[in-house]
Chain A
């Protein structure tokens, strides 16, 4: 995917985004602070800004570019079924509506008036409306922000499966770095209307700087083991160690979770009586001072890497230094 987009938004803000990804990247996540130009980028790509110019290697003039807006923008004079029927009527090709209704969990909402829907329900209907319209490219602008965590994960997992199956390319703008890390193939970071960094998810997350410590996650993945029905937990193997998760994202037998650096504690003892199930033995690779008297500790084992954000006091009491072997503990999510 190659992407060049430009737009003069105002006298002091110009969007000038250029990006190129690997050929197999189908899900691109776009992150960045508010006002970075993420929504403007999506509007340019959706052809909604007449004064803009863009080139995108996936699009041909006949490509249908769907956009799910942050505010959903469901038509208020129609009920949910009416909104979906209108999108189907103008769809480029037939889609499996019942699969989409089910995946977006909209089946029970069909008869409802859109003005009486909650924010999360609206977002599900908006996503459903975009999918039944059979887009070639789907742009998502904070499309899951009002959904609760469990529901958002289920819908996003469905979305990824559905888009992979039907060859729909997705550009996803979100502040939820964890969702981007789980469901995207590559990430792009925007600032001041430009794409400042981009690349595969792991590469982007591993090169995190200490000032971004509060807004990053690590991805741990490996073969999923049999679901533990009794404890409602999915174990999986990561670097030959068993880790546990409540709702990991499982694709092609590989389980994937994200770990927030603020949730990770470091333990020098290998055996430890703790209620925290996940203990990941790894090596300290680097310590970098972070904001507010904290230290960002980069931990790694094999190809896997994670971060721990701990206080300077802890680090100095433990005499922590690069090369130490420690156990990183983090709670089950």
Chain B
């Protein structure tokens, strides 16, 4: 495996992490908003389903996703009919898998943010004549900004560290599905420790810096939080 492959793995991993982070925010925002305002006994059931990937071994999720994405399954077939391409062992499969795998990392911080949000601020915004969209733009999003950042950052970090699910549904195709964690595993298998070290240290440093940045950015601005 060449160093070109290593760089491909870096780029692929970043692409996967950013796409997953972005898409998850879009899906998780309405889900978390709805969950925070939902008063039903069924809520614990939905919360448990959303949190499942936190405790489930990634290989379990990967195994079922592999079955679901197979060309002879409903989803696999539908995908092939829509795009003309096979879903299993593709980059799209990695994105879909990552969305499910990182879902709780996006939903939980947003859910907490919406739970803590005093919704009477929305009433105040409504009495000032703001439309529903304006209320979210000027009031809700700025007030949950720290939670938004944490949700995005954790999702990105978690996707970068993904291994089990990716291995099951993506295989190990350089430039297509070979992400950093898999490339690192390859180097270890090939006893190429110097490159494994370089990659492991880079991942370690990146994850640490990302988390530091997240905690720094998500600190409440001075005076906010009443």
Contacts and interface: CB of A to CB of B under 8 A. Distances in A.
B127 A46 contact: yes
Contacts of A116: 223
Contact of A133 (B129, B139, B145, B226): B129
Interface string B193-226: 0000000000000000000000000000111111
Nearest to A72: B124
A68 to B, nearest CB: 9
Contacts, number: 68
Contact of B127 (A66, A76, A77, A86): A66
A109 interface: no
B123 interface: yes
Contacts of B134: 90
Interface in A35-56: 43, 46-48
B39 to A, nearest CB: 14
B222 to A, nearest CB: 7
A73 B124 contact: yes
14 contacts: A46-B127, A48-B127, A73-B118, A75-B125, A76-B224, A76-B226, A78-B142, A90-B128, A90-B130, A113-B223, A114-B226, A115-B225, A115-B226, A129-B128
Contacts of B145: 77
Nearest to B225: A76
Contacts of B124: 67, 69, 73, 75
Given A73-B120, A75-B121, A115-B226, A65 B138 contact: no
A86 B222 CA distance: 20
Contacts of A69: 120, 123-124
Interface of B is mostly: helix
A76 B223 contact: yes
Nearest to B223: A113
A71 interface: yes
Q: Which of A48, A75, A114, A116 has its CB near the most chain B CB atoms (within 10 A)?
A: A75
Nearest to A135: B127
A73 B121 CA distance: 6
Q: Which of A46, A73, A78, A87 has its CB near the most chain B CB atoms (within 10 A)?
A: A73
Contacts of B103: none
A160 interface: no
A125 to B, nearest CB: 12
Given A46-B127, A75-B142, A114-B223, 9 more contacts: A47-B126, A74-B226, A75-B143, A77-B221, A78-B142, A79-B223, A90-B129, A92-B129, A133-B129
A321 to B, nearest CB: 54
B123 A48 contact: yes
